[in-house]
Homo-oligomer: A and B are copies of this chain.
Amino acid sequence: MRTKDIAEALAGRLDGDGAIEIDRLVHPARAERPSDLALAISADAVAALAHSKAQAVVVSADHPVPSGSFRAVITTNEARLAFARLTALFDHGPALEKGIHPTAVVASDAKLGVGVSIGAYSVVGPRSRIGAGTAIMPQVTIGADVTIGTQGVFHTGVRIGDRSAIGDRVIVHPNAVIGSDGFSFAPDLMSTAAFTADVVLTRVHSLGNVAIGDDVEIGACTTIDRATLESTRIGSGTKIDNHVHIGHNVTIGESCIVCGMVGISGSVTIGDRVRLGGGVGIGDHLRIGDQAVVAAGSGVAGNVPAGAFVSGYPAQPHQRALEQFVYASRQKRLHEKVEGLAMRLGALELTNKK
């Protein structure tokens, strides 16, 4: 790729030499070869430009460099988006040979689209269908009656349970599990009634599936349980990080962000464009409205209205949580003040008695 091509791909402005062949994207401090493109869209990286050996750089319109400082300067108005696009340009993807590896075990009635690749030792179950261009890395297992869309990537060790329905361009990271059984028993697990000595836990089987939209990303070691009768649903465009637990019968809307180690209990309903910070827990059957934000580490014990920003354990409106935190830090002073008032009051009472 030449600097000219990159400027075009980013819809950025090019100043200087458009013919430099670029083969690597680096921090300005790491630039060492003419073919390195230094990325300087953060203030920190811009500062590093002063001592950089880079010949070609990408900068933000917010942090311009003097004209002529480098052989080629690409300036972008949307720095974060340009950054994302640049990384896509330089990602060659995982190393997977084209075609079906001879050791893959594919059911005779499974259907594979044009250009599907399946890695060593992967297993595709009966009646499952995989869309054109999707890459199944080595040691993936896909159950029975699964449908997977086009242009997806399923990394090593991914487990897809029976009947899962997965859209186009879905990326699933290593050792994630989609379509495992829900955790549901009779009697109800967290019912207020005590578990007496004769309790027997009878399994509620999971007859439903997991349904995932398009352009969804699912992190490493994340698990999504299938529904009891219907579908656990993940809307299109939603991105899920590592170690996330999504219980049975959950519905998550479109373009949501679910950060690492979030736990979503059974039958929770989450709207569109919701953001859940790392380590958030959500109690069962709750509803989180569109565009709500839950701060990292919060425990949600009640419904969250659309657009709300909540934090804490139990989660409450963030301003209220902050206020309580501030008051908690003033306790010592408050106790001392009350003690002082009590002494002054006692003195007054004594005076009055006389």
Contact = CB atoms under 8 A, between A and B. Distances in A.
A241 B245 CA distance: 10
Interface string A129-172: 00000000111010110000000000111010110000000010
B239 A260 contact: no
Contact of A243 (B25, B91, B263): B263
Given A121-B121, A196-B291, 19 more contacts: A30-B230, A84-B186, A87-B228, A95-B143, A120-B123, A121-B139, A159-B175, A174-B177, A177-B220, A180-B242, A190-B257, A223-B242, A259-B265, A278-B281, A278-B283, A324-B331, A328-B328, A341-B342, A352-B352
A217 interface: yes
A70 to B, nearest CB: 18
A25 to B, nearest CB: 6
A205 B120 CA distance: 25
A98 interface: no
Contacts of A69: none
Contacts of A188: 80
Contact of A296 (B120, B228, B239, B283): B283
A313 B280 CA distance: 13
A342 B348 contact: no
A206 B330 CA distance: 45
A88 B345 contact: no
From A121, A245, A313, A345, name the one whose CB has the most chain B CB atoms within 10 angstroms: A245
Interface string A270-307: 00110101110101000000010100110101000001
A337 interface: yes
A316 to B, nearest CB: 8
A263 B281 contact: no
Interface in A70-115: 78, 80-81, 83-85, 87-88, 90-91, 94-95, 103, 105
A197 interface: yes
Contact of A202 (B81, B95, B279, B297): B81
Q: Please state the number of chain copies in the assembly.
A: 3
A255 interface: yes
A81 to B, nearest CB: 5
Contacts of A257: 185, 189-190, 195, 201
16 contacts: A25-B207, A81-B202, A84-B204, A87-B206, A90-B207, A95-B162, A103-B103, A174-B177, A175-B223, A194-B273, A195-B273, A200-B255, A260-B265, A314-B325, A327-B335, A328-B328
- The A interface is mostly helix, strand or loop, or mixed, namely loop
A43 interface: no
A199 to B, nearest CB: 5
Interface in A326-345: 327-332, 334-335, 337-338, 341-342, 344-345
B239 A201 contact: yes
CB-based closest 9 A-B pairs: A327-B331, A95-B144, A87-B205, A297-B299, A195-B273, A91-B205, A159-B174, A84-B186, A80-B186
B237 A201 contact: yes
Given A183-B260, A221-B223, A229-B27, A157 B157 contact: yes
